[in-house]
Chain A
Amino acid sequence: MIQFINTLLIGITAGSIYSLMAIAIVLVWRSTRVINFAQAGMALLSTYFGYEAMVHLNSFWIALPVAMAGGAAVAAFIELVFMRFLLKRSAHGAISGVAPIIATLGLLGVIRALTSSIWGGQDVRIVGPVSNVGYSIGANTLAFSPLKLLILVTVIVLVLLLSLLFQKSSIGLSLRASAFSPEIARLSGIRVDAVRTLGWSLAGASGAVAGMFQTVNGNGSFSPDSIEFSLLLVSGFIAAVIGGLDSLIGAVIGGLVLGLVISFVLMYISSSLFFIAPFVILLIVLFLRPQGIIGAKAARRA
Chain B
Amino acid sequence: MHRLKSSNNLIYFFVFGFILFLASNRVDELRVYQGASIAVFVIAIASIILLTGYSGQVSLGHGALLAIGAYSAAVARNEFNVPVVVCFFIAVLSSALGGVLLGAAAARLTGPYLAGVTLALAIGLPSLANQFPILGGEQGLIFDVGFPPLSLGEEFTQYKWFFWISSLAALISMWLLSNILGSRYGRNWRAGRSNEVAAQLAGINTGRSKILAFTISAGVAGLAGALLSMTIGTVSPSAFPLALSFSLLTGAVLSGVTTLSGVMIGAVTLVAIPEIADVIANRIGASERITTNLPGLMVSTLLIITVLFVPHGPVEQHRSRKAKKLVQKKN
Specify which of A102, A271, A286 is in contact with B109 (CB 8 Å cutoff). Answer: A286
- What is the CA–CA distance of A176 and B294 in the complex, to the nearest angstrom? 39
- Which of B88-96, B144-152, B304-312 binds A? B304-312
Give every chain A residue within 8 A of B53 (Cβ-Cβ). Answer: 94-95
- Which of A84-92, A128-136, A152-160 binds B? A84-92
Are the CB atoms of B193 and A103 closer together than 8 Å? no
- What is the CA–CA distance of A108 and B297 in the complex, to the nearest angstrom? 10
A-B contact count (CB 8 A): 165
Are the CB atoms of A238 and B300 closer together than 8 Å? no
Are the CB atoms of B296 and A35 closer together than 8 Å? no
Q: Does A117 contact B (CB under 8 A)?
A: yes
- 1/0 contact string of B296-323 vs chain A (CB within 8 Å): 1101110110011101100000000000
- 1/0 contact string of B102-121 vs chain A (CB within 8 Å): 00010011111101110111
- 1/0 contact string of B264-285 vs chain A (CB within 8 Å): 0000000000000000000000
- What is the CA–CA distance of A94 and B252 in the complex, to the nearest angstrom? 14
How many of chain B's residues have a CB under 8 angstroms from any CB in A? 53
Q: Does B290 contact A (CB under 8 A)?
A: yes
Are the CB atoms of A273 and B304 closer together than 8 Å? no
Q: Does B56 contact A (CB under 8 A)?
A: yes
Give every chain B residue within 8 A of A94 (Cβ-Cβ). Answer: 53, 56, 193-194, 257-258, 312
Are the CB atoms of B116 and A238 closer together than 8 Å? yes
**Nearest B residue (CB) for A103:** B307
- Which of A195-203, A205-213, A277-285 binds B? A277-285
Are the CB atoms of A102 and B307 closer together than 8 Å? yes
Specify which of B108, B124, B258 is in contact with A276 (CB 8 Å cutoff). Answer: B124
Contacts known (A35-B116, A97-B110, A102-B249); A272 close to B311, Cβ less than 8 A = no
Q: Does B127 contact A (CB under 8 A)?
A: yes
Are the CB atoms of A110 and B124 closer together than 8 Å? no
Are the CB atoms of A300 and B124 closer together than 8 Å? no
Give the dominant DSSP class at A's interface: helix
Give every chain A residue within 8 A of B105 (Cβ-Cβ). Answer: 283, 286-287
Are the CB atoms of A241 and B58 closer together than 8 Å? no
Q: In the complex, which residues 163-185 of chain B have their Cβ closer than 8 Å to any Cβ of chain A?
A: none
Are the CB atoms of B304 and A110 closer together than 8 Å? yes
Give every chain B residue within 8 A of A113 (Cβ-Cβ). Answer: 293-294, 296-297, 300
- What is the CA–CA distance of A302 and B109 in the complex, to the nearest angstrom? 9
**Nearest A residue (CB) for B309:** A89
Give every chain A residue within 8 A of B289 (Cβ-Cβ). Answer: 116-118, 120
- What is the CA–CA distance of A220 and B224 in the complex, to the nearest angstrom? 39
Chain A nearest CB from B133 CB (Å) reads 11
Contacts known (A97-B111, A103-B308); A272 close to B297, Cβ less than 8 A = no
Give every chain A residue within 8 A of B141 (Cβ-Cβ). Answer: none
Give every chain A residue within 8 A of B253 (Cβ-Cβ). Answer: 102
Q: In the complex, which residues 214-262 of chain B have their Cβ closer than 8 Å to any Cβ of chain A?
A: 242-243, 246, 249-250, 253, 257-258
Q: Does B84 contact A (CB under 8 A)?
A: no
Chain A nearest CB from B167 CB (Å) reads 29
Specify which of A97, A99, A238, A278 is in contact with B307 (CB 8 Å cutoff). Answer: A99
Contacts known (A109-B303, A116-B289); A90 close to B311, Cβ less than 8 A = yes
Chain A nearest CB from B235 CB (Å) reads 16
**Nearest A residue (CB) for B241:** A225
Give every chain A residue within 8 A of B72 (Cβ-Cβ). Answer: none
Are the CB atoms of A241 and B113 closer together than 8 Å? yes
Give every chain B residue within 8 A of A283 (Cβ-Cβ). Answer: 105, 117
Contacts known (A95-B53, A114-B297); A101 close to B110, Cβ less than 8 A = no
Are the CB atoms of B110 and A105 closer together than 8 Å? no
Q: Does B157 contact A (CB under 8 A)?
A: no
Q: Does A8 contact B (CB under 8 A)?
A: no
- What is the CA–CA distance of A114 and B289 in the complex, to the nearest angstrom? 10
Q: Does A275 contact B (CB under 8 A)?
A: yes
Contacts known (A85-B308, A230-B123, A275-B124); A101 close to B113, Cβ less than 8 A = no
Are the CB atoms of B113 and A272 closer together than 8 Å? no
Give B residues with C-beta under 8 Å from A: 52-53, 56, 58, 60, 105, 108-113, 115-117, 119-121, 123-125, 127-131, 193-194, 242-243, 246, 249-250, 253, 257-258, 289-290, 292-294, 296-297, 299-301, 303-304, 307-309, 311-312
A–B complex contacts, Cβ < 8 Å, 27 sampled:
A89-B308, A89-B311, A90-B311, A97-B56, A98-B52, A101-B60, A101-B112, A102-B58, A102-B249, A103-B304, A105-B60, A105-B246, A105-B300, A108-B300, A110-B301, A113-B297, A116-B293, A272-B127, A272-B130, A273-B128, A278-B124, A279-B117, A279-B123, A282-B120, A283-B117, A301-B109, A302-B111
Give A residues with C-beta under 8 Å from B: 34-35, 37, 85-86, 89-90, 93-95, 97-99, 101-103, 105-110, 112-114, 116-118, 120, 230, 233-234, 237-238, 241, 270-273, 275-279, 282-283, 286-287, 290, 300-302
By Cβ-Cβ distance, the 3 closest A-B pairs, closest first, are A109-B300, A272-B130, A113-B297
- With A103-B308, A286-B105, A301-B110 already in contact, 10 other A-B pairs whose C-beta atoms are closer than 8 Å: A94-B53, A97-B56, A107-B304, A113-B294, A116-B296, A237-B119, A271-B130, A286-B108, A286-B113, A290-B108
